[in-house]
Structures are given as C-alpha cells and as structure tokens.
C-alpha cells in the first residue's frame, strides 16, 4: 500500500518537472512543418483552386 502511494507521488513529481512550454512549442513546430507541405500538395492537386 505504501509502495503504491510512493509511486503516485513520484509520478506527480515527474509531471511537475516536465517543461510543458517546450513540449507545446515542439508540437506546434511539428504541426506547422507537416501542414505546410500538405497545403502545398493540396493546392497542386487542385491546380490552385481551393
């Protein structure tokens, strides 16, 4: 029982230590890098007519 409580406390500490701003910036950058070429391909396939 005590071991399970210690594991929960440890997991909470890990979540507090994570730098969520950096993770958000990386996800945003990745989304932009993937969506940019996808939009260009979509425009090319539709011959520039969205």
Give tens-digit pLDDT for 4-30: 887 777 777 777 777 889 999 999 999
pLDDT, position 50: 67
**pLDDT of 3 over the 80 cut:** no
pLDDT, position 33: 96
pLDDT, position 4: 82
Per-domain boundaries in the chain? 19-50
Task: Write the burial class of residue 11 (CB in 10 Å: 0-12 exposed, 13-18 middle, 19+ buried).
Answer: exposed
pLDDT, position 19: 84
Query: For residues 50 and 26, which has the higher predicted lDDT (pLDDT)?
Result: 26
Query: For residues 36 and 12, which has the higher predicted lDDT (pLDDT)?
Result: 36
């Amino acid at each position: 029982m005590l071991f399970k409580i210690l594991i929960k406390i440890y997991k909470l500490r890990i979540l507090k230590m994570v730098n969520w701003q950096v993770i958000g910036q990386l996800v945003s950058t990745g989304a932009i890098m993937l969506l940019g070429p996808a939009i260009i391909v979509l425009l090319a396939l539709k011959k520039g007519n969205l």
